[in-house]
Amino acid sequence: MAYRSRLSVVKSAVVTGNVVPSCRREFSWWSSVQPAPRDPILGVTTAYLVDTHPSKINVGVGAYRNDEGKPVVLECVREAEKRIGGRELMEYLPMGGSARFCELAVGLAYGEDTQVLKDKRVASIQALSGTGAVRLFAEFMKRFQLEAEAYLPLPTWSNHHNVFRDANVNQHTYRYYLASTRGLDFEGLKEDLKSAPNRSVILLHACAHNPTGVDPTPEQWKELSKLFKEKEHFPLFDMAYQGFACGDTQRDNQAIRIFLEDGHQLACAQSFAKSMGLYGQRIGCISIVCAEATEAATVKSQLEYIARPMYSSPPVHGSLLVTSILTDSDLKQLWFKEVKEMADRIIGMRVALRKNLEELGSKHSWEHITQQIGMFCYKTVNGGGAQEHMEGAARSSVALDVGAVRDSYGYLTESAWCY
């Protein structure tokens, strides 16, 4: 249709004697392309940048900030940079990335003492952060489990839907958040997963659920593990915030350890963007627990085969940084200290935000601010007709371009308390 319109313009110009510019006469391959829809999360930051209000607050920055609203580079990362600077070559990594990095990453996620690692039953390759890890698994799932369908929590990080869509995997949602309690809809969750076809792939957030900040209790994880066994579901854990939820990396991986102890095969998509502040390094890992070592080697080869036409091999710098930190006892302890400080600060900011809201005299309950965990605080507004995605007492409060964060609590709470 668009091509015919261009032809009519040319014919009309010839009849009237007008000169048609050469660019109008030429056929364009891309004239039918329409602007892509705006990303709902990144769009918040875009709106923030163009807003001229002097008291503006960015509630969607997607990264940890200090009291001045500035990005934070951890001391352990700076020290690791010094140690690898000028000492490492810039050669291509293998298709699967750094084997040493992957070994350390899965040890952190699963626990270094877990039996599946001792038995070499885990296939793992380096990925382009957590997004790339989920995408690799989605592609793998589509190739080797053609009938399986993916179930995602409602709500979940919006990009999860894009990843499975572009991998051509049929996806559904299961109930997760209960607006009336601003907590977990555990009964609805179980009911939906029981109703799902046997051998479905279920996406789970290992800790600090994005965007609700609502996690199951250890007892609920155990009950879910039993349900997964009964339904033969496959758990895919997205672990973007290990250490960032409660400040303890081993407490934050308890869901994975519970499932492993119950004998599940599972997959884990890891990211070091938040926990080490390596946002721009795009460093992550996808790992899949297999039945035995030979199967794990085969699965790894297929993951590498999928990665090859996507990006050939992953970047080297992020893997060097993570490896340096996790293999040096002093740097590792420093990282544990720093990630706990970040987590504790987030918890403290939640307490302060709730206190300010309550002191303003709001008639609503704000308990969910301190009951939810991690970088996200979530609530429904206007009777559930709109979803307010306040990205954390931490994230919404630290992502400022004006003054110190604590000086902005008043404005933030005054804007939010009426909901």
Question: What does the alpha-carbon distance between residue 230 and residue 232 come to, in Å, rounded to a whole number?
Answer: 6
Residues with Cβ within 8 Å of residue 386, at least 6 apart in sequence: 380
274 is catalytic: yes
The closest of 288, 282, 255 to 141, measured between CA atoms, is 288
Asked whether the bond before 211 is cis by omega within 30 degrees of 0, the reply is yes
Task: Name, in order, each residue with C-beta under 8 angstroms of 376's C-beta and a sequence gap of 6 or more.
Answer: 208, 209, 210, 211, 212, 213, 391, 392, 395
Catalytic residue among 215, 274, 335, 366, which? 274
Q: CB under 8 Å to 162, separation ≥6 — which residues?
A: none
Q: Token pair of 179, please?
A: 């607006």
Candidate list 185, 238, 252, 335, residue with the active-site label: 238
Q: Could you please report the per-residue DSSP string of 182-215?
A: TEE-HHHHHHHHHHSPTT-EEEEESSS-TTT---
Helix extents (H) in 2-128 = 2-16, 22-25, 42-50, 75-84, 99-110, 115-118
- Asked if 391 and 60 touch (Cβ cutoff 8 Å), the reply is yes
What is the spatial distance between Cα 310 and Cα 105, in angstroms, rounded to a whole number? Answer: 22
The token pair that represents 350 in the structure block: 């939640």
Residues with a known catalytic role: 157, 238, 274
